[in-house]
Every structure is written in structure tokens, then in C-alpha cells.
């Protein structure tokens, strides 16, 4: 099914060619959290991930975090990310609402946005249905 096929695949978020995405006209990047920005349930971000997000911000990408995870008191990683970027927990991916809400907050239209995530039935399906460029992290 075409809607479950990512536009690209990558081994990790560090392997993506972000300059190419910028040349393609992409200006917003949505990241999934679990198994994308970190491991299965990351307590904090690795330094290279924080560095990458800072670099992408300097490249003038708008960053958003879209996770289906609930907010928990132990989820310090979510508190830290939310201090810097638009973030939606319990986003209900692949439903459209969570995507559209955060894109409105980021002020970028779907055709100029990239979704980076590991799960076909939430991240990739939800992005593809909205015409968002989808990149699957194979892990």
C-alpha cells in the first residue's frame, strides 16, 4: 500500500541529508520521539542529538516533536524538548489532527514539512496522508 511507503529510509536521524531537504524546499521537520530521537523510551537525549537539533535550527528549519506517548512525571526528556520546540504528546498519529495542530503552531504548510519516524502505521501513514515528506528510521 503506497500510503505505508516512506519517501526515504535512514539508519538514524544522523544519517539524513538535511541540506538536500532544504534544497527541496522543506522548512519544517517533525520528529517522532521513541526509537527516533532516542531509544525505546529515552530518558534524555544523546549529546549528538541535541547538537543536531541546534544545527537544524541554525539552518532555519522549524522543529516540532510529535509523539503518541503520554506525558509522565519521569519523562524529563519531554519537559526539556518542550522548552525549546513545539511538542505534542498523545498526538494520536496517524490521525490528522495532531499533525495539523503542530504544523499550525510551527506555521509551516504540510508540503514544506518532513516527518521523521520509525513506525509505518503511525509516523509514515499519517505523514503520507497529508502530503508530508516521510522518512523512516529503520533502527
Nearer of residues 32 and 75 to Mg ion, judged by Cβ:
32
The least CB distance from residue 25 to Mg ion, in Å, is 26
Per the CB < 8 A criterion, the answer to whether 137 and 8 are in contact is no
* Stretch of residues binding Mg ion (CB under 5 A), selected from 4-12, 18-26, 34-42, 87-95: 34-42
Asked if residue 32 binds Mg ion (CB under 5 A), the reply is yes
Give the span between the Cα atoms of 50 and 54, in whole angstroms: 6
Q: Map residues 106-125 to x or -, x wherever contact with Mg ion holds by CB under 5 A.
A: ------------x-------
Asked if residue 69 binds Mg ion (CB under 5 A), the reply is no
Alpha helices in the chain (DSSP H): 18-23, 47-58, 76-84, 96-106, 125-129
Nearer of residues 20 and 72 to Mg ion, judged by Cβ:
72
Distance of CA 97 to the CA centre of its chain: 15
Nearer of residues 42 and 86 to Mg ion, judged by Cβ:
42
Asked if residue 34 binds Mg ion (CB under 5 A), the reply is yes
Per the CB < 8 A criterion, the answer to whether 9 and 133 are in contact is no
Give the span between the Cα atoms of 80 and 77, in whole angstroms: 5
Asked if residue 35 binds Mg ion (CB under 5 A), the reply is yes
Positive/negative CA dihedral, 67, 6, 50, 63: negative
The least CB distance from residue 1 to Mg ion, in Å, is 20
Nearer of residues 82 and 120 to Mg ion, judged by Cβ:
120
Catalog residues that contact Mg ion under the rule CB under 5 A. Answer: 32, 34-35, 118
Amino acid at each position: 500500500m503506497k500510503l505505508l511507503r516512506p519517501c526515504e529510509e535512514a539508519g538514524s536521524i544522523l544519517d539524513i541529508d538535511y541540506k538536500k531537504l532544504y534544497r527541496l524546499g522543506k522548512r519544517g521537520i517533525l520528529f517522532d520521539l521513541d526509537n527516533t530521537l532516542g531509544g525505546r523510551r529515552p530518558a534524555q537525549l544523546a549529546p549528538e542529538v541535541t547538537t543536531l537539533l541546534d544545527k537544524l535550527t541554525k539552518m532555519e528549519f522549524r522543529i516540532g516533536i510529535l509523539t503518541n506517548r503520554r506525558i509522565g512525571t519521569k519523562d524529563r526528556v519531554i519537559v526539556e524538548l518542550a522548552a525549546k520546540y513545539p511538542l505534542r504528546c498523545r498526538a494520536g498519529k496517524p490521525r490528522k489532527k495532531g499533525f495539523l495542530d503542530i504544523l499550525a503552531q510551527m506555521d509551516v504548510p504540510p508540503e514544506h514539512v518532513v516527518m521523521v519516524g520509525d513506525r509505518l502505521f503511525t509516523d509514515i501513514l499519517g505523514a503520507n496522508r497529508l502530503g508530508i515528506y516521510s522518512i523512516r528510521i529503520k533502527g
